[in-house]
């Protein structure tokens, strides 16, 4: 029994430790890329070309004093960022980086991913309510409405991909795309999925819960030190998870393009994730923020009918031509 437990612990560390390093590198890459787009220098002091800046920021937040508001519910106030951070980590348990390179491979991994990712809204709501601040509470309510609105379109788009591939298991979804990646027959659905993932992770142009000009950073305005850092890490972990999910469902996972199979499969998966992450960064650098009424109108009156329409179209084509996967 103990060898199995030790093996599981080592597997968990093997996944989560590189993930935390990737989050640190992601934050640095985002700041450098945005600086290049906006003709600035970006981080360039700590380490070579500023490569150690994320670790310096993490150390600074770790040693700073944690300020607890007087009127806050202290227990929930402390647990909310920890809850958000843990959820952003455990969702990676079902992400396959290569064939057999996955912590857990359940038959219904898609349902697990949707269930865990949908719980993230509770961390935001609890933080806004427990802070006992008007700005934090408004930011948490905005986030809850936004995440619920776009999670429906995200789930319908994911169901469309699962229906075409004939499985809810992530490994089998990647294997089913050996011949052709799903992004080619389902390009509109992939675009809807990516934009919905932007809204689900509160990124530009849908970062209304963290609107600095209106809500002074929204639901995390009362947080400092490690509380703020955990929210920060959770948000970037969710972005990487959505990028990985996009690769699995629409970009063939670890499969390489034709004629380039000599590169390791895990590197192909990482390179595709980097392409999606770059899109996240570019969206933040070049797009203005939506108004809140525009955000909700886009989610309910545009994305939801379109995602349902493409789902019914896919069902009709699969049934009409007898292409339903066995």
User: Coil, helix or strand for 25?
Assistant: helix
Q: Does 326 have pLDDT greater than 80?
A: no
In-domain check, residue 236: yes
Mean pLDDT score, 201-213: 72
Q: What pLDDT shows up at residue 263? A: 60
- The boundaries of the domain holding residue 234 are 64-320
User: Coil, helix or strand for 101?
Assistant: strand
Neighbours of 24 (CB within 10 A): 19
Q: What pLDDT shows up at residue 103? A: 79
Please tell me whether residues 59 and 167 are part of one structural domain. Answer: no
- Percent with pLDDT over 70 in the chain: 94
Domain end position, chosen among 63, 82, 116: 63
Residue 49 pLDDT grade (very low, low, confident, very high; cuts 50, 70, 90): confident
Phi, psi (degrees; rounded to nearest 5) at 198: -60, -45
Mean pLDDT score, 66-92: 86
Please tell me whether residues 36 and 84 are part of one structural domain. Answer: no
Q: What is the Cα–Cα distance from 28 to 21, expressed in whole angstroms?
A: 11
Mean pLDDT score, 282-295: 83
Residue 35 or residue 135, greater confidence: 35
Please tell me whether residues 163 and 300 are part of one structural domain. Answer: yes
Q: Which residues of 259-276 are buried (b: 16+ CB within 10 A; e: fewer)?
A: eeeeeebeebbeebbeeb
Please tell me whether residues 11 and 154 are part of one structural domain. Answer: no
Residue 60 or residue 292, greater confidence: 60
50: its two tokens: 């500023």
Domain end position, chosen among 35, 63, 91: 63
Phi, psi (degrees; rounded to nearest 5) at 192: -60, -40
145: its two tokens: 């409405």
Please tell me whether residues 113 and 187 are part of one structural domain. Answer: yes
Q: Does 254 have pLDDT greater than 60?
A: yes
Mean pLDDT score, 222-250: 87
Q: Does 214 have pLDDT greater than 80?
A: no
Q: What is the Cα–Cα distance from 193 to 156, expressed in whole angstroms?
A: 9
In-domain check, residue 325: no
In-domain check, residue 226: yes
In-domain check, residue 175: yes
Please tell me whether residues 57 and 69 are part of one structural domain. Answer: no
Please tell me whether residues 93 and 59 are part of one structural domain. Answer: no
The model's pTM: 0.89
Which residues are bridge partners to 254 per DSSP?
Answer: none
Please tell me whether residues 21 and 143 are part of one structural domain. Answer: no
Please tell me whether residues 43 and 76 are part of one structural domain. Answer: no
Residues 6+ apart with CB under 8 A from 224: 64, 65, 66, 67
In-domain check, residue 326: no
Please tell me whether residues 254 and 168 are part of one structural domain. Answer: yes
């Amino acid at each position: 029994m103990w060898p199995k437990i030790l093996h599981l612990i080592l597997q968990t560390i093997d996944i989560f430790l590189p993930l935390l390093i990737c989050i640190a590198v992601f934050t640095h890459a985002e700041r450098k890329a945005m600086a290049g787009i906006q003709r600035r220098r970006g981080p360039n002091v700590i380490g070579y070309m500023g490569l150690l800046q994320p670790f310096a920021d993490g150390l600074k937040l770790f040693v700073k004093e944690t300020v607890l508001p007087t009127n806050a519910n202290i227990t929930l106030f402390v647990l909310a960022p920890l809850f958000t951070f843990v959820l952003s980590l455990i969702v990676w348990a079902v992400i396959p980086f290569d064939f057999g390179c996955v912590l857990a491979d359940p038959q219904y991994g898609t349902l697990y991913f949707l269930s865990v990712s949908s719980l993230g809204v509770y961390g935001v709501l609890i933080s806004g309510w427990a802070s006992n601040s008007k700005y934090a509470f408004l930011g948490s309510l905005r986030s809850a409405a936004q995440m619920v609105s776009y999670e429906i379109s995200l789930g319908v788009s994911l169901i469309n991909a699962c229906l075409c591939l004939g499985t809810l298991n992530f490994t089998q979804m990647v294997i089913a795309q050996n011949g052709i990646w799903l992004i080619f027959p389902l390009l509109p659905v992939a675009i809807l999925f990516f934009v919905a993932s932007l809204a689900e992770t509160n990124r530009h142009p849908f970062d209304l819960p963290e609107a600095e000009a209106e809500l002074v950073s929204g639901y995390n305005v009362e947080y400092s030190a490690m509380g703020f850092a955990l929210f920060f890490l959770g948000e970037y972990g969710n972005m990487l998870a959505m990028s990985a999910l996009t690769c699995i469902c629409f970009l063939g996972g670890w499969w390489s393009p034709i004629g380039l199979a000599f590169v390791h499969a895990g590197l192909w998966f990482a390179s595709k994730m980097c392409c999606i992450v770059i899109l996240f960064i570019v969206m933040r650098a070049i797009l203005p923020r939506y108004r809140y009424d525009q955000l909700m109108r886009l989610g309910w009156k545009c994305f939801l009918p379109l995602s349902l329409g493409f789902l019914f179209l896919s069902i009709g084509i699969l049934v009409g031509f007898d292409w339903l996967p066995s």
